[in-house]
Each structure stands twice: as structure tokens, then as C-alpha cells.
Amino acid sequence: MPDPDLILASGSTIRKQMLIDAGISFDVITSEVDEDIIKSTFIEESFLERVIELAKAKAKHVSKLYPGSLVIGADQMCVLEEENFDKPLEFTKAVENLTKLSGKIHMQFSGVCLYKNNKLIWDHSEFAELKMKSLSQEEIKTYIKLDDPLQCCGCYKFESNGSDLFEYVKGSENVIKGLALEALLEALDKYN
């Protein structure tokens, strides 16, 4: 069986949906890289550099398996000052994360790249700035129960009710959702 033409090396349901909504035809093959190991390797770099290194690691892993395919790697980091907020995975951690973000400005960093034949052919990173409203514990718990954002970077689904949590946003909403879509679409026009 021949390699798929285009592969998304991410299990993110929102990234998948964003590409579908953009009319892109692709397969999903999730990489098996250990993100914690990669994060521990790149601690001196800026968050824009770190997020692109994570995206590259995912794409490179899948590109080795499917060298003839164009592989999209993507990653996202939610950062308050110097603290990176991973997916909370459980309710109590979600409450803790949103309590820390409440009333504060934080950043969402998005990295995206393309690999083919196990070689990087394009990469891009950008960020958005968000200021969360000051939220009570009751508002935080109600929101988590409403949107179930336990698998989301930063613990909110901006594409759903999470957008209501913010006083303002500077930057692309697609970056906040987890994919610098505009830049990727331009790259796909060029390389696909």
C-alpha cells in the first residue's frame, strides 16, 4: 500500500477538525514520541523555539515511517510567566490551572512544521496573548463541568465555551485552538 499523501502527526481532535473544516484531505497517524523527554532537553530555548521542537519531533517520527508522505507536525504550549501548563487530565488539576490563570495574562504558543523523506522542509511558530477574567472557584468548576477541557492545553476549549473566559485576546484564534492554520495553509499550497 502506498504512503498517504498528507499525514497529520497529532491525535488532537481540534487540529483534525480545523484541517477538515479547511477542506484538507489527510490521514492521522499519531507519533509515539515522549514529549516530556523532549521538553526536558529544550529548557534554555524560548517557548517559540520549544514548541517548534516538539512539533518537529512528532513529524520526524512519523516521516521515518512514511518517508514518501508530507507530514504535518504541530504542538502547543500554554505559558504563564515561565510556567508551562500541560493538559490537566483530572478535575482537581484543571481547577488548579484555571485558578492560576484567573485574572492574569498568559500566552498560547503554536508550532507547526512539514517533513518529507525524514527531512524538515518548513516550520513556523507564533503566539497569542490572552487575559483571563477573574473567575471564582464556583465559576471555574462550573466551566470545567460544562466543557470538559481536561485534554486541553491551558485547560479551556477556546472553540467552545472557553472563549467566554477572557477579557481580551491578541493574536490568532487558531493559534489558541492549537494550530497556526493560516501559515500552514500557505505552506501546504507551496509544498503539497
Nearby residues of 17 by Cβ (< 8 Å), 6 or more positions away:
none
Q: How many CB atoms lie within 10 A of CB 24?
A: 17
Out of 21, 34, 75, 147, pick the active-site residue.
75
C-alpha span between 72 and 115 (Å, rounded) = 7
Give the ranges where the chain is alpha helix by DSSP (H).
13-21, 35-41, 47-65, 91-101, 137-147, 173-177, 181-191
- Is 148 an annotated catalytic residue? no
Q: Contact at 8 Å (CB) between 150 and 88?
A: yes
Q: Side chain identity at 66, as an amino acid letter?
A: Y
Catalytic positions, written as ranges:
75
